[in-house]
Structure 1
Amino acid sequence: MTLAAVREQGEQPPERAGRIETAPLPLAERETAPDYPLEALGSVLGEAAERLAYHVQTPRGMAGQSVLAAAALAVQGLADVARGPHGSGPVSLFFLTVAGSGERKSSLDRLALAPIREMETEKRQHHPEELAAHKAAREAWEMRRDSLVSAAKPKGKQPMSESEATYLQETLAAIDAEEPQPPPTPSVTFSEPTAEGIYRHLQHNHPSAGLFSDEGVGFFGGHGMSEEGRGRTVAMVSKLWDGDPITRTRGAAGDSGVLAGRRLSAHLMLQPVVAAKVLGDPLLQGQGFLARFLIVQEPSLVGQRLLKGRDPSQGPHHDPAIARYWSRLSELVRAPLKVDESGAITPRPVQIGAEAYTAWARLHDAIEVESSEEGRFRDVRPFASKAAENAARIATVLALVEGEAAPTVDHIERAGRLVAYYLESMAIRTAEARQDTEELRARELLEWIKGHGGVLHAQDFKRLPSEYRSAKKARPLLAFLVDTGHLQIDGSSPRGLPASWRLAGEV
């Protein structure tokens, strides 16, 4: 690459004819990602997320994801949302948080889900007693059934009459309808399910469940996402987001079935290397699975999480905002669900009506316009296509957490700010992925040199950020910066290799 280009004589003013342009060629720039709008989560969720981020010392967006995901899990069995004439569906939400090792994902998740974990612990304490009672009830039921069958058998060689057979059939049908069912497992959430495991959980346990994991690689790398099972798992999880019935087809009698009225929310935390593979997976992209997720990836706080000036006696369990969040979440997750005889949830329908609908329609149309060929969200259309529906779901979750019967204009507008954040962040990440990665890395190296005296010596490569410390990584980027006019070689080694560099134009 040349350092400058000579303009054609006829393209320059007379006074500049023949002059060589020596200005450095521009490098690709990273767009500044927006800040997560915690205030849009409201007084209950937003204040709790802010305080959790402070106490755990995690990025604010991670905390926002965690509390909103927990709230969706708590309310999804209580209400469905109707978007005027444009359909109705669950308020379930799917989240994906990308954060590196040591970012305290587990600590944050544990606190955000504390009321749900507490309820699960209480259920576990009573589970052995329930299992024992079920075992006794089933043994009594089996003895009763066997005794009726034995009593109905004809004496001697007399065949059973038609009326006797009919009576036995009706009696057994009545008894079979009374067969004791095992108590549900105490867990509301699971982390590494297969499609069959999800089906069984929603069939026999809690009809409103959560796919939650602070190590999401367990889900994406587990048996349920193996080559054999990933298609079934992705299809089932996607159907649950849509609110559609899920099916299971098996060869053995009684193993097939259809489940309606089940709900699932999800929050999966992934390390960046795993997230890159997941987000680039053609199957997950092609089936629209990833487009259902609201994704956060924020800059790391590692190196800034200092304890100086903090009161060691005041932690999250002493914080009024977190206590208020825990109290409300506990109230919601323990609220009884309306369940029919088949085990299906019948949530209360919530309408986005009147002025709130007008606000939602305005948001919908703005997203639609920005999804056009010239729009901001043209490269993230799969996510944009579900953004308005996600906004309706978020608005309903916010409303129910705050004690409202249905979303107001304020809830719609706040949900719109959150969805705008998710779409804008995704658009920036997608644009960066299409840029020249090496050019972006060269810019980052240049900024480091500028911030450290404007000079770099080869023996100081070990002082560079970790991704540039080896000569094999640093030298190609430095050569690129010399070729583009940003650096000049300031000295060479006895072997003739560049040994020091300084900012171009500086002596």
Structure 2
Amino acid sequence: MSFDVLPPPYPFGAFHLVIKDAAEEVWRNTQAPDALIGMEFMTVMSVSAQGFYDVRLPTGQVRPLSLNSLVVAESGERKTGVHNLVAEPIYAFDVGRVKKYETEIEEYELQNRIWKSIDAGLRRQLTKLTQEGQPIEELCRQLSDHAANRPIKPRARRIMRQNATERAIMDALEGDGESIAFISDEGEIIIKGGALNQTGTLNKAWDGASMLTLDRSDGVSVVVRNPRVTVSYMVQRQVLKELLDRRGDVMRGSGHWARYLIGCPASTQGTRYTYHLNKDWHHLPKFHERMRELLDEFGRRVDAGVAERTTLEFSDDVHPRWIELANHTETMLQPWGYMHDIKDFASKALEIAARVAALLHVFSKQEGKISVDTLNRAIAIVEWHLHEFKRIFSPTTIPQEHADAQVLEHYLFVNYWCRNFTFAQKNLVLRNGPVRPASRLDAALNCLIAMGRVSIGVGRKRERYINLNGAYFGSLGGAVAY
């Protein structure tokens, strides 16, 4: 596990416009770490859409749109502020469902009392007729009809969950097509609450199992059909280390971690300067509107008893691209390959990319089948997380120049590109930047030059400049005016 190496900027540029604009607006107004914000958006998209959308992979399997995510961030990174801001429509949806349940349970209790009174009266009549030797066929028919009309107790449905044992998870998912999410900006609640002790159940739910069962000690069985579960939590580094020390082998060995998008973004503390107290919100409300549309439609389907989901498909021209990606991944699994030590995540990466592509398709309101462009956008996002998975879980030591290159790239992005500068004077970067001495800076620059992300220019006085590749840095997100 390496927390000393900083990741590159989160690929906001891979999002479609309605998502990208909202994410960058949150970034500008909160100045929280970019990946923390990007992953929060991915999570709420998953929660909003998983209830009534699935995706058919190019290989034919149908999979949920559920995503698992883990953000590693220290106290003070504005985890709570970002979560409450972005996820607000989900909490509002839950509040609305609870109020609806409270109204329904009052009506149910009234109707149930009436039903019981009528039932008791019919049974008294039956007893009397039996004692008198009178015909009871008509009364039995009335009893049968009355039994069939017994009021059904409403169910308290809400999406957000935190503290859950296996019993609580299964009870929440009982029935057909339930959709829940374990989300917390304080991951200790999820970890200590018991949800992560049930990795087998969570893995099956993530995979899209058609049925899960739990046999209770009282002889009653809980049957869950076609559940959808999103798991997302934010933890501090020490909490994650303790979790890995205690249960890391089990969670990695069971394949649970392989089902996660993981990120440990660079801290922004110390650079979050305030210039305006009033924040403008033009784009986030549009994203929230789309969330509400999806959640409301899910609520209507639940109320109507419709459990069947809409299955999204990929266009035919995605197939060659999918084959190319699958073969490239297979090559990277060889002993000398980049993914050799993270085979578990590599085995899920394409499927996760398909889920992300479907979410991008849904939230950008595209019609028809999922396009190659949307898949490529999803690949860019998942690739960022693949590097993070390797950085956090791989035992392999990253060469110093590669580590320095990642730190330097992030510094150039935040301090130059996001402030509308397309170049940086090398001496200033050496003096004020994160990589010293000059030999290490040169090695890091050589790595970035080899990847086509920067080039070196020479001024009239022989001073050297680091030119930022606009095609690459622009794909990470628009310039930000703090």
Q: Compute the TM-score of the two structures, normalised by the length of structure 2.
A: 0.75
1:102-113 matches, within 5 Å, as 102-113=76-87
Compute the displacement of 1:336 (Å). 3.9
Correspondence for 1:94 among 44, 68, 73? 68
Q: Is 2:243 aligned against 1:278?
A: yes
1:474-502, Cα deviation, whole Å (9 max, x unpaired): xxxxxxxxxxxxxxxxxxxxxxxxxxxxx
Cα distance between partner residues in 2 of 1:50 and 1:326: 14
Q: Is 2:349 aligned against 1:387?
A: yes
Compute the displacement of 1:41 (Å). 1.8
SS in 1 for 2:153: coil
Q: Is 2:42 aligned against 1:80?
A: no
- Structure 2 residue identity aligned to 1:179: R
- 8 Å contact 2:177–2:307 — kept in the other structure? no
Change (3 A) 1:343 1:384: farther
Compute the displacement of 1:148 (Å). 2.8
Q: Is 2:222 aligned against 1:260?
A: no
SS in 2 for 1:295: strand
> How many residue pairs are counted as aligned between the two chains?
404
Correspondence for 2:187 among 213, 216, 236? 216
Match of 2:14 in 1: 40
Cα distance between partner residues in 2 of 1:147 and 1:413: 68
SS in 2 for 1:312: coil
1:212-245, Cα deviation, whole Å (9 max, x unpaired): 11111111112445xxxx2xx2222111111112
Change (3 A) 1:414 1:436: closer
The farther-off stretch of 297-306 and 201-210 is 201-210
Cα distance between partner residues in 2 of 1:42 and 1:393: 15
Q: Is 2:351 aligned against 1:377?
A: no
Q: Is 2:258 aligned against 1:295?
A: no
Match of 2:372 in 1: 409
SS in 2 for 1:334: helix
Correspondence for 1:332 among 294, 298, 315? 294
SS in 1 for 2:80: helix
Q: Is 2:107 aligned against 1:133?
A: yes
Q: Is 2:30 aligned against 1:52?
A: no
Cα distance between partner residues in 1 of 2:218 and 2:435: 70
Compute the displacement of 1:35 (Å). 2.2
- 8 Å contact 1:84–1:352 — kept in the other structure? yes
Match of 1:458 in 2: none
Match of 2:151 in 1: 180
- Structure 2 residue identity aligned to 1:199: M
- 8 Å contact 1:34–1:424 — kept in the other structure? no
Change (3 A) 1:176 1:300: farther
Cα distance between partner residues in 1 of 2:3 and 2:194: 41
Q: Alpha carbon RMSD of aligned pairs, Å? A: 3.4
Q: Is 2:217 aligned against 1:251?
A: yes
- Structure 2 residue identity aligned to 1:302: Q
The farther-off stretch of 364-373 and 47-56 is 364-373
Q: Is 2:202 aligned against 1:237?
A: yes
Cα distance between partner residues in 2 of 1:63 and 1:390: 19
Correspondence for 2:282 among 299, 316, 320? 320
Cα distance between partner residues in 1 of 2:28 and 2:235: 21
1:135-159, Cα deviation, whole Å (9 max, x unpaired): 1122122223333333323656689
Which blocks of at least 5 consecutive residues in structure 1 are unaligned? 1-27, 455-507
Cα distance between partner residues in 2 of 1:417 and 1:49: 16
- Structure 1 residue identity aligned to 2:362: L
Cα distance between partner residues in 2 of 1:369 and 1:385: 12
1:486-497 matches, within 5 Å, as none
Compute the displacement of 1:378 (Å). 1.0
Compute the displacement of 1:371 (Å). 2.0
Change (3 A) 1:167 1:367: farther
Compute the displacement of 1:117 (Å). 1.6
Cα distance between partner residues in 2 of 1:41 and 1:154: 73
Correspondence for 1:199 among 170, 179, 190? 170
Cα distance between partner residues in 1 of 2:250 and 2:134: 59
Change (3 A) 1:175 1:369: farther
1:420-435 matches, within 5 Å, as 420-431=383-394
Larger Rg: 1
Change (3 A) 1:412 1:298: same
Which blocks of at least 5 consecutive residues in structure 2 are unaligned? 408-429, 438-482
- 8 Å contact 1:340–1:346 — kept in the other structure? no
- 8 Å contact 1:94–1:266 — kept in the other structure? yes
Q: Is 2:89 aligned against 1:115?
A: yes
- Structure 2 residue identity aligned to 1:62: L
Correspondence for 2:42 among 47, 68, 72? 68
Cα distance between partner residues in 1 of 2:43 and 2:270: 28
1:314-370, Cα deviation, whole Å (9 max, x unpaired): x2xx32111211111111111146869996721112111301233233223222221
Larger RCO (CA within 8 A; separation ≥ 6): 2
1:176-200, Cα deviation, whole Å (9 max, x unpaired): 4433333333532111212211222
Change (3 A) 1:86 1:69: same
Fraction of identical pairs, as percent: 23
- 8 Å contact 1:30–1:432 — kept in the other structure? no
The farther-off stretch of 371-380 and 408-417 is 371-380
Cα distance between partner residues in 1 of 2:132 and 2:371: 74
The farther-off stretch of 361-370 and 90-99 is 361-370
SS in 1 for 2:174: helix
Cα distance between partner residues in 1 of 2:122 and 2:175: 28
The farther-off stretch of 256-265 and 198-207 is 198-207
